Structure 1
């Protein structure tokens, strides 16, 4: 099964040699599930031609906000709606989660409650899962066809399911503790409050359940439609 990765941002330069770009992180996360991958760097205005260019689609995270004025965002929203109409499975993570919601009629805002960073506990489809987070923006109004399947007290709409057409989550199953450590050092300083960074750093050694979400994503891509 060919998965088209719509890359909406690039990993910090200092991690590229060690961890790869965001598309590489997702290919590593989903390794062993029988997928092949092709990346389109939509952040650089590189777009697929049609939804039929892949069997399923995955939208990555980004440092950008879904509500920001960038020339690549409106065409991406149009392509999301085209995928949704076509019926091929669509998965979004962090920014991907947000831009799918926005494209399909929801609202994304910079959350007044602040940031979630590092290992964070969520209730995902009835089970507690610890996953790495790195976000301030949130989906605050749901699209008409979205159903909440994951949340916590800080992020009410942390995972959404749109029937068998789209599945999206706010946290980052593809982020290892090493990636979070690098974000703390190179993207968090002066942006995220120091106490949150210190708490996230203290939790770096604790395990997370990215593999559980990887299986969920794989099952979603492969389910009968």
Structure 2
């Protein structure tokens, strides 16, 4: 299957050489030979010539907010609206947020502050592409949140901190999640260190890093996404 990765940002310069960019993290999560991957830097205006050129799309995370006055965000939302129902779509973190905003929801910088570290979501409503796990624990790194559901979206998994954490748009052939299954624990910890003393206090950074002593469900969530793509995109 051909899989387009819409790249909406990059890791900090301090860690990108060691851990790679976001598209490479997804290739590692899914398997480097699992798909015929192609990356499009949407911040630079890169898009497939036709939506139908790819049966499936992944929209990555970004340090940007959907409300930021950046010239590439509105064209991305236009593309997502055009692709809705035409191809399978998976949004992660910023991808989750920009899909929600494009499809009629609302995203804000949350007054709850940063969600960082290994976060657990309870499964609220199972889907055929999921197994029977009652909850998942996956890296989080966000301060923005979806606060109004788009029409047609269903909450698949969530937490008290992130009530709209994982959404399914069944008729639109789309799913999105606020968490980061592509983040290996070592990368997640390195990312926290780059933000220690700026975005996070020492206490916040230490607490978030300590959560990675626990096992995570990155592989499980990655398998869910791949089963979704197989069932939806063929």
TM-score range, shorter chain: over 0.9
Ranges in structure 1 where 5+ consecutive residues have no aligned partner? none
Q: 1:50 to 1:158 in 2, by over 3 A?
A: same
Mapped partners of 1:99, 1:166: distance in 2? 13
List per-residue Cα deviations over 1:155-182 (Å, max 9, x = no partner). 0000000005110000100011111111
Q: 1:38 to 1:32 in 2, by over 3 A?
A: closer
Aligned residues of 2:88 and 2:232 also touching (Cα < 8 A): no
Mapped partners of 1:79, 1:23: distance in 2? 19
1:177 maps to 185
Mapped partners of 1:195, 1:133: distance in 2? 17
What TM-score do the two structures reach when normalised by structure 2?
0.91
What TM-score do the two structures reach when normalised by structure 1?
0.94
2:5 maps to 5
1:108 maps to 107
**Secondary structure of 1:121's aligned partner:** strand
Q: CA deviation at 1:190?
A: 1.4
2:92 maps to 93
Work out whether 1:214 is the aligned partner of 2:213. Answer: no
Q: CA deviation at 1:196?
A: 2.1
In terms of mean alpha carbon deviation, does 33-42 or 57-66 score higher?
A: 33-42
Mapped partners of 2:208, 2:16: distance in 1? 22
Aligned residues of 1:33 and 1:218 also touching (Cα < 8 A): no
Mapped partners of 1:188, 1:24: distance in 2? 25
Aligned residues of 1:177 and 1:205 also touching (Cα < 8 A): no
Ranges in structure 2 where 5+ consecutive residues have no aligned partner? 127-132
Q: CA deviation at 1:34?
A: 2.6
Q: How many residues align?
A: 224
Mapped partners of 2:232, 2:142: distance in 1? 33
Work out whether 1:152 is the aligned partner of 2:155. Answer: no
In terms of mean alpha carbon deviation, does 93-102 or 189-198 score higher?
A: 189-198
Mapped partners of 1:34, 1:178: distance in 2? 23
List per-residue Cα deviations over 1:168-213 (Å, max 9, x = no partner). 0001000111111111111343112432211111122322111011
Mapped partners of 2:43, 2:49: distance in 1? 15
Map residues 12-161 of structure 1 onto 2, 5 A cutoff. 12-31=12-31, 34-86=34-86, 88-124=87-123, 125=126, 127-161=134-168
**Secondary structure of 1:108's aligned partner:** strand
Aligned CA-pair RMSD: 1.5
